[in-house]
């Protein structure tokens, strides 16, 4: 029995289509810059929002109508939900999904029971992956919801919490390997602090690094060779998250010798919470060789928290794709919709509208970004802006051939700098608008 009887297979119908259950821009087989859209994006459905999101908020309970749910926290319900998830992804045409261990299956009375519950659902996921060809983009462990992690997991003041988290990640790595996951993500849900009076920051960061090394060592020992990713977020739930932004994460990874195994999974709404644009985060990670994957969503201009909305803004997706193309793409990462439908959008069909909109917005952004790159006008203006570094004194400085004495001699002889040119910001903004 279908969970979505009124929804057909979602197909590409082109920009003129008025069918809300069709793609207008995402055409999986269309080749852009030598690669199909399917391979550019590696779109992924986030299991937690799409199949566990209830619509609850601090002011009221869930509103989502999900006829396949029986309201219980049983393994049977989890298995039925997993089958529905695959029907959804298959109809949508999403090639990947991502999960937290605890999204998939309920916790049991003991760690052993919990692992057993997880195994029962993983068996079904594996079957469904084989049936549909849908793959796992990444797995992650939920190390933030259970009250045992109230003070954090690897950064907890309680060594037992570290040990429990280690056991949980060990199992999650095994499951991710079993399901052929391409990546493994750490989002440090409660790895941070509310107050420095009760926090030994140095010790907590040392522990977090130790934890990541143990995870990498174990993963490699069982044959998991996927990419490890850290997902930056500056705050929420803690006042200050250690994985604040791309720069803080890369500094942590470099300081603790973890850059060989790790890249970053950047999320738009986390970037904006940190006071950055997503493009800033992409550029920063990209230039450091640490751009791994993205969690695609958007915040609300007027609200200062993590609203996790589906991205529909072509400026945003164009900027994302300009950076992603510049750094050679995301694979083995992808574009994971860490986004949820609004509490008022409670019907199952809204899940389709939301994902179709996000996929189309990225496809449109890709085409716009590719057109900008093909014309080369933006690039040639950028190249021109830095031309003083391509020859003469600029080239000498870059090549390490100038010291303070040579620079003083140069300036004494020249007297004053060559006049600055305009930054032409408004002209460039107009130029981008030509493509939209």
Residues that bind Co ion (CB under 5 A): 267, 295, 338
Beta strands at 291-295 and 262-267: parallel, antiparallel or unpaired: parallel
Q: Is the CB of 91 or the CB of 171 nearer to ligand XUL?
A: 171
Q: Does 283 bind ligand XUL (CB under 6 A)?
A: no
Backbone angles phi, psi at 176, to 5 degrees: -65, -40
Report how far residue 269's alpha carbon sits from residue 328's, in angstroms, rounded to the nearest whole number. 23
SS3 295: strand
Backbone angles phi, psi at 136, to 5 degrees: -90, 120
Q: Is the CB of 233 or the CB of 280 nearer to ligand XUL?
A: 233
Question: Minimum Å distance from CB 163 to Co ion?
Answer: 26
- Kindly tell me which residue out of 66, 233, 340, 364 binds ligand XUL, with binding defined by CB under 6 A: 233
Burial letters 186-207, b for 16+ CB under 10 A, else e? bbbbbbbbeeeeebeeeebbeb
> Contacts with ligand XUL: how many residues (CB under 6 A)?
10
Q: Does 243 bind ligand XUL (CB under 6 A)?
A: no
- Kindly tell me which residue out of 295, 296, 319, 333 binds ligand XUL, with binding defined by CB under 6 A: 295
Catalytic: 103?
A: yes
Residues contacting residue 338 through CB under 8 Å, at least 6 positions apart:
46, 49, 267, 295, 296, 297, 308
How many other CB atoms are there within 10 angstroms of residue 168's CB atom? 24
CA dihedral of 317, 322, 328, 334, whole degrees rounded to 10: -10
DSSP letters, 32-55, are ETTEEHHHHH-EEEEHHHHHH---
Q: Residue 185: in which H helix or E strand, if any?
A: strand 183-186
Q: Does 66 bind ligand XUL (CB under 6 A)?
A: no
Q: Does 267 bind ligand XUL (CB under 6 A)?
A: yes
Q: Which does 140 bind (CB under 5 to 8 A by kind): ligand XUL, Co ion, none?
A: ligand XUL
Q: Please identify which of the residues 101, 103, 306, 360 carries the catalytic annotation.
A: 103
- Kindly tell me which residue out of 27, 117, 140, 241 binds ligand XUL, with binding defined by CB under 6 A: 140
Nearest to 168 by CA among 98, 238, 114, 104: 114
Alpha helices in 376-403 (DSSP H): 377-385, 392-398
- Kindly tell me which residue out of 253, 338, 358, 365 binds ligand XUL, with binding defined by CB under 6 A: 338
Q: Residue 409: in which H helix or E strand, if any?
A: helix 404-414
Burial letters 396-412, b for 16+ CB under 10 A, else e? bbeeeebeeeeeeeeee
Question: Minimum Å distance from CB 185 to ligand XUL?
Answer: 6
Q: Is the CB of 267 or the CB of 283 nearer to ligand XUL?
A: 267
* Alpha carbon separation from 192 to 80, 150, 275, 350, 425 (Å, rounded): 36, 11, 18, 35, 38
Q: Is the CB of 25 or the CB of 262 nearer to Co ion?
A: 262
Catalytic: 6?
A: no
Question: Minimum Å distance from CB 420 to ligand XUL?
Answer: 41
Q: Is the CB of 28 or the CB of 189 nearer to ligand XUL?
A: 189
Q: Which does 233 bind (CB under 5 to 8 A by kind): Co ion, ligand XUL, none?
A: ligand XUL
Q: Does 306 bind ligand XUL (CB under 6 A)?
A: yes
Q: Residue 216: in which H helix or E strand, if any?
A: helix 201-222
- Kindly tell me which residue out of 101, 107, 174, 231 binds ligand XUL, with binding defined by CB under 6 A: 231
Q: Does 97 bind ligand XUL (CB under 6 A)?
A: no
Q: Please identify which of the residues 100, 270, 276, 280 carries the catalytic annotation.
A: 100
Question: Minimum Å distance from CB 169 to ligand XUL?
Answer: 12
Report how far residue 188's alpha carbon sits from residue 175's, in angstroms, rounded to the nearest whole number. 20
Q: Is the CB of 81 or the CB of 233 nearer to ligand XUL?
A: 233
Q: Does 154 bind ligand XUL (CB under 6 A)?
A: no
Q: Is the CB of 191 or the CB of 338 nearer to Co ion?
A: 338
Q: Which residues contact ligand XUL (rule: CB under 6 A)?
A: 100, 140, 185, 187, 231, 233, 267, 295, 306, 338
Catalytic residue ranges:
100, 103
């Amino acid at each position: 029995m279908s969970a979505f009887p009124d929804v057909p297979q979602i197909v590409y119908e082109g920009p003129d289509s008025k069918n809300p259950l069709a793609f207008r821009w995402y055409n999986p087989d269309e080749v852009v810059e030598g690669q199909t859209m399917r391979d550019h994006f590696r779109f992924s459905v986030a299991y937690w929002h799409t199949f566990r999101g209830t619509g609850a908020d601090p002011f009221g309970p869930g509103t989502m109508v999900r006829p396949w749910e029986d309201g219980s926290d049983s393994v049977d319900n989890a298995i039925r939900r997993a089958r529905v998830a695959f029907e959804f992804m298959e109809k949508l045409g999403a090639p990947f999904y991502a999960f937290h261990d605890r999204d998939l299956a309920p916790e049991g009375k003991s760690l052993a029971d919990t692992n057993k519950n997880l195994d029962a659902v993983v068996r079904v996921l594996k079957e469904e992956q084989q049936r549909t060809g849908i793959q796992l983009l990444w797995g992650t462990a939920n190390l933030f919801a259970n009250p045992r992690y109230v003070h954090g997991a690897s950064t907890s003041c309680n060594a037992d919490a570290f040990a429990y988290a280690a056991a949980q990640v060990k199992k999650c790595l095994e499951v991710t390997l079993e399901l052929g996951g391409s990546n493994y993500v750490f989002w440090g849900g409660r790895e941070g602090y509310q107050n420095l009076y009760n926090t030994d920051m140095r010790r907590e960061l040392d522990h977090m690094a130790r934890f990541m090394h143990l995870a990498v060592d174990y993963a490699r020992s069982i044959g998991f060779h996927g990419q490890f990713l850290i997902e930056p977020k500056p705050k929420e739930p803690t006042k200050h998250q250690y994985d604040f932004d791309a720069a803080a994460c890369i500094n942590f990874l470099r300081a603790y010798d973890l850059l060989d195994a790790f890249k970053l999974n950047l999320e738009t709404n986390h970037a904006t919470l940190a006071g950055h644009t997503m493009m800033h985060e992409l550029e920063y990670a990209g230039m450091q060789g640490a751009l791994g994957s993205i969690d695609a969503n958007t915040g609300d201009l007027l609200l200062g928290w993590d609203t996790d909305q589906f991205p529909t803004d072509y400026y945003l997706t164009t900027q994302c794709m300009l950076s992603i193309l510049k750094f050679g793409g995301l694979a083995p990462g992808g574009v994971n919709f860490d986004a949820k439908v609004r509490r008022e959008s409670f019907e199952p069909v809204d899940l389709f509208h939301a994902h179709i909109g996000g996929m189309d917005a990225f496809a449109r952004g890709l085409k716009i970004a590719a057109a900008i790159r093909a014309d080369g006008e933006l690039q040639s203006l950028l190249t021109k802006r830095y031309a003083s570094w391509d020859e003469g004194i600029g080239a000498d400085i870059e090549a390490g051939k100038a010291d303070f004495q040579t620079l003083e001699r140069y300036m004494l002889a020249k007297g004053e700098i060559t006049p600055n040119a305009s930054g032409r910001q408004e002209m460039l903004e107009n130029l981008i608008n030509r493509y939209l």
